[in-house]
Amino acid sequence: MIKTIDIKYKISLSVCILLGYSGLAQADTVRLLTPTGPYPVGTVTYQWTDHSREANYTSNPGDKRTIVTQIWYPATIDSTSVKAHYAPLSEDYKKVVGNSYVRAPFNTDVGQTSLILISPGRGTERFLYTTLIEDLASNGFLVASVDMPLIGYTLFGDGYVVRPSSAFQPPPGMMGGPYEKVDAFFEQPTAMGVLDLKLAYEHLKALNAADPNDRFRGKINTEAIGIFGHSLGGRITGSFTADHPFVKAYISMEGIPPRDVRYKGKIRIPTAMLCSSGTLPYAIDNYNSFTDNAPAPVYFVVMNDFGHNSVTDNPFIYPNSFNYKIDPQLGLKISRQLVTGYFKMQLLDEGQIEQDLEHIEQLVIKKYSNE
């Protein structure tokens, strides 16, 4: 039997709206929200190569597939610490200021911490989730966001850029169903992304075992990790979760696991599915195929007035480029509270989503439990 809990919460929006916000895109500086946790945040970026796979995005036939992984973590800073660039190789984001410090030492007050993997949406970059990620890192998590060539924009350290493949962009109208076609369309990029996440995970395990810079040695719990995906990234992370029992927490924004995973109930941990109210009408049957077959509780969260990209920094940085009803700052505040709260609940056994979010009007939470 399915148990359903409908909860609608209230908040006064007037205190959350920035005066003159519409001019933010033209400002000299855009400062990201300050993280809520007690720890400063450090960041470092790696390029990792899978020597078993060809790089079908370069002109040289001998090149192997390489991903770019940026890590954020609880850090120790002092007067010599250097602020990290939001996106050092991108002209589009050079005026954005975050809260992280580049190559800072790992915080000595934090013991072994939980790992969270991030799979960005199709056509996006790893750093566009910085507001969510900095909040997680400030609360003691180690977070790794992965740029996957041909799936999202991938900027390599030497300036080489791989753009998203047009082959993975769904044609107009396809996302409205039938979902058998949607599932078939995304099979190839999903398989590619799962292997990229596996590559990142294996390198993170290696850093935990023997980091040559001694920053992460012994600091990463790789046996009980969390995972977050957005859009196509949510499909990729759902497939990864189903095949890897060390994933103990899975949350997705408008990305639903592949058909086989949904209908066979292969994800056996409590999960959180986030969906904007605009997407819900044509996606509800697909979500039902997941919740109806899930062997563990599913928190299904309808995010009223949100847009597909409200969980990213883009609407906050370029508010005039998006017409979502939700104020961009409020959307990020709610998103990070949801994401951080879910991972605390699942990985640290702290709090419950219903209680943590009881003051938020924009959410309708349904908890499904097929017990």
Q: How far apart are CA 276 and CA 231, in angstroms?
A: 12
DSSP state of 170: P
**Residue 197, CB-side half-sphere exposure with 13 Å CA sphere:** 31
Q: How far apart are CA 234 and CA 256, in angstroms?
A: 6
Location of structure tokens 């979760």: 241
| 3-class DSSP assignment, residue 175 | helix
Q: How far apart are CA 25 and CA 328, in angstroms?
A: 12
pLDDT tens string 313-362: 999 999 999 999 999 999 999 999 999 999 999 999 998 877 777 778 78
Residue predicted with more confidence, 67 or 11: 67
Where in the chain are the domains? 29-286
Neighbours of 19 (CB within 10 A): 5
User: What is the pLDDT, as a whole number, of residue 91?
Assistant: 83
At position 319, the amino acid (one-letter code) is P
| 3-class DSSP assignment, residue 339 | helix
User: Was domain 29-286 assigned CATH 3.90.1170.30?
Assistant: no
Average pLDDT, whole number, for the chain?
90
- Cβ atoms of 44 and 212 closer than 8 Å: no
Give the β-pairing of 113-119 and 220-230: parallel
* Angle formed at CA 289 by CA 288 and CA 293, multiple of 5 degrees: 105
Q: Confidence class of residue 4 from pLDDT cuts 50, 70 and 90? A: very low
Neighbours of 293 (CB within 10 A): 16
**Residue 332, CB-side half-sphere exposure with 13 Å CA sphere:** 24
Percentage of the chain beyond pLDDT 70 is: 92
pLDDT tens string 53-88: 999 999 999 999 999 999 999 999 999 999 999 998
Mean pLDDT of 101-118: 96
- Classify residue 305 as left (phi > 0), alpha (psi -120 to 50) or beta: left
Residue 16 has pLDDT above 50, yes or no: no
- Classify residue 173 as left (phi > 0), alpha (psi -120 to 50) or beta: left
275 DSSP β-pair partners = 302
Q: How far apart are CA 207 and CA 71, in angstroms?
A: 12
Closest CA to 76 of 113, 114, 41, 112: 41
Q: What is the pTM of this model?
A: 0.91
Residue 9 has pLDDT above 60, yes or no: no
The token pair at 312 is 């990213």
Burial class (CB in 10 A: 0-12, 13-18, 19+), 216: buried
User: What is the pLDDT, as a whole number, of residue 371?
Assistant: 60
CA dihedral of residues 230, 235, 237, 239 (deg, nearest 10): 180
Q: How far apart are CA 276 and CA 274, in angstroms?
A: 7
pLDDT tens string 163-221: 999 999 988 877 777 778 889 999 999 999 999 999 999 999 999 999 999 999 999 99
Give the β-pairing of 96-97 and 161-162: unpaired
42 DSSP β-pair partners = 73, 101
Strands (E), the chain: 7-8, 30-31, 41-54, 64-74, 96-97, 100-102, 113-119, 142-147, 154-155, 161-162, 220-230, 247-253, 271-276, 298-303, 363-368
Please compute Rg for the chain using Cα positions.
20
